[in-house]
């Protein structure tokens, strides 16, 4: 029986952590952090447990909800752009054109425009016209956002490597030249996405959610869902690899839970009655503080017990 080869395992895990797709997803999801935090401040503003403040803020609650909608509510859109830009950079492709094409592919795949008629407009008070359902812009569309970003960049890379692109003469500004370089792969991607959605009537987002449904267990509020990410995070760190990469597959479920919490709180729920605790913030504030395993908390309670035992 061969001995335990820690170096070999470490090398294999380093390869996994260095996977360009996982890295792009990790970096793309990180883009959501500042807008999510700032957006959450507006939720706090509307929910401060002070009666006089609640009375004062009540006329402005609708206006204060806008930053929440445009932060957490559009995370799929932001992450699609960021993931595509990050992946394009690894291939030395133009970040902006690649990411913009990926976003259009994402929108074609997940959004089905609707119409507000004049009759509905009278009843609802919403202006008549075309509307875009918002659910898939957010956490529900994250898997499709990841797929759209990766496939779009890979198609653009393939066309460029095979020289199936439009080349502009020297002297043309780089921004214009990059746009024309992406023109043919953009046409293939956009037409392909349209055929899948409207020609084949296939819901890619629903298909992905169904295919990856086993992962949904790790977004539920139970003991196993807490322990498993911590185990893999610590395992990666054990072999000298950044543990955050291990959480990549469950980000969509964590952010879906976060959005559900924000929605519940905005409707009157408290921190104690919010529906989920399984969010990334749970791990950041209760597990990873001071290192995985909550070292600072352990040290605090150890110190406390020593003081009690010493009188």
- Reported as a single tens digit per residue, the pLDDT across 18-46 is 788 988 988 888 888 888 888 878 877 87
Q: Residue 62 burial (CB < 10 Å; 0-12/13-18/19+)?
A: exposed
Q: Are 190 and 104 in contact (CB under 8 A)?
A: yes
How many Cβ atoms sit within 10 Å of the Cβ of residue 200? 9
Give the integer Cα–Cα distance in Å for 187 and 97. Answer: 13
Q: Is the pLDDT of residue 103 over 70?
A: yes
Cα angle 230-234-238, degrees, rounded to a multiple of 5: 170
Q: What is the DSSP string of 89-156?
A: HHTT--HHHHHHHHHHHHHHHH---EEE-HHHHHHH-PPSEEE--SGGGTGGGHHHHHHHHHHHHHHH
Residue in this structure with the two tokens 């932060």, named with its chain if needed: 71
Phi and psi at residue 272, to the nearest 5° = -75, -30
Q: What mean pLDDT value characterizes the chain?
A: 82
What is the pLDDT at residue 309?
Answer: 61
Q: Is the pLDDT of residue 1 over 50?
A: no
β-pair partners for 114: 131
- Reported as a single tens digit per residue, the pLDDT across 46-90 is 777 788 888 888 888 888 888 888 888 898 999 999 999 999 999
Phi/psi region, residue 274 (left: phi>0; alpha: psi -120 to 50; beta: rest), is beta
Mean pLDDT value across residues 271-288: 79
Structure tokens, 206: 């629903």
pLDDT tier for residue 306 given thresholds of 50, 70 and 90: low
- Reported as a single tens digit per residue, the pLDDT across 119-165 is 777 776 777 777 777 888 888 899 999 999 999 999 999 999 999 98
Q: Are 251 and 18 in contact (CB under 8 A)?
A: no
Q: Which residues contact 113 (CB under 8 A, 6 or more apart)?
A: 130, 131, 132
Largest CA distance in the chain: 83
How many Cβ atoms sit within 10 Å of the Cβ of residue 266? 16
Mean pLDDT value across residues 271-278: 81
Mean pLDDT value across residues 253-257: 85
The closest of 182, 235, 249 to 19, measured between CA atoms, is 249
Phi and psi at residue 48, to the nearest 5° = -60, 130
Q: Are 116 and 129 in contact (CB under 8 A)?
A: yes
Mean pLDDT value across residues 213-234: 81
Q: Are 45 and 57 in contact (CB under 8 A)?
A: yes
Q: Say whether pTM exceeds 0.85.
A: no
What is the pLDDT at residue 72?
Answer: 82
Q: What is the DSSP string of 290-305?
A: TSTTTHHHHHHHHHHH
Give the integer Cα–Cα distance in Å for 270 and 65. Answer: 17
Structure tokens, 50: 């002070």
Give the integer Cα–Cα distance in Å for 284 and 289. Answer: 6
């Amino acid at each position: 029986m061969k001995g335990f080869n820690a170096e070999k395992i470490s090398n294999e895990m380093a390869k996994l952590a260095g996977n360009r797709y996982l890295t792009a997803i990790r970096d793309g999801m990180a883009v959501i952090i500042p807008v999510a935090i700032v957006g959450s401040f507006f939720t706090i503003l509307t929910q401060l447990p002070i009666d006089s403040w609640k009375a004062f803020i009540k006329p402005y609650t609708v206006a204060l909800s806008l930053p929440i909608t445009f932060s957490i509510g559009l995370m799929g859109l932001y992450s699609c752009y960021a993931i595509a830009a990050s992946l394009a950079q690894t291939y030395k492709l133009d970040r902006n054109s690649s990411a913009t094409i990926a976003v259009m592919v994402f929108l074609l795949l997940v959004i089905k425009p609707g119409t507000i008629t004049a009759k509905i407009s009278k009843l609802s008070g919403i202006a008549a016209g075309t509307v875009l359902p918002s659910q898939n812009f957010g956490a529900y569309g994250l898997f499709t956002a990841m797929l759209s970003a990766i496939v779009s960049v890979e198609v653009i890379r393939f066309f460029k490597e095979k020289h199936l692109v439009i080349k502009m003469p020297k002297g043309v500004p780089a921004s214009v030249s990059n746009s024309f370089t992406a023109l043919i792969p953009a046409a293939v991607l956009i037409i392909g996405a349209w055929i899948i959605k409207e020609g084949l009537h296939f819901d890619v987002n629903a298909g992905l959610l169904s295919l990856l449904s086993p992962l949904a267990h790790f977004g539920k509020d139970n003991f196993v869902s807490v322990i498993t990410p911590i185990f893999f995070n610590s395992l990666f760190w054990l072999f000298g690899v950044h543990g955050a990469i291990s959480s990549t597959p469950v980000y969509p479920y964590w952010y879906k839970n976060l959005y559900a919490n924000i929605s519940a709180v905005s409707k009157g729920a408290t921190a104690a009655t919010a529906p989920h605790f399984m969010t990334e913030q749970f791990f950041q504030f209760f597990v990873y503080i001071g290192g995985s395993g909550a070292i600072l908390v352990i040290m605090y309670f150890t110190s406390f017990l020593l003081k009690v035992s010493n009188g």
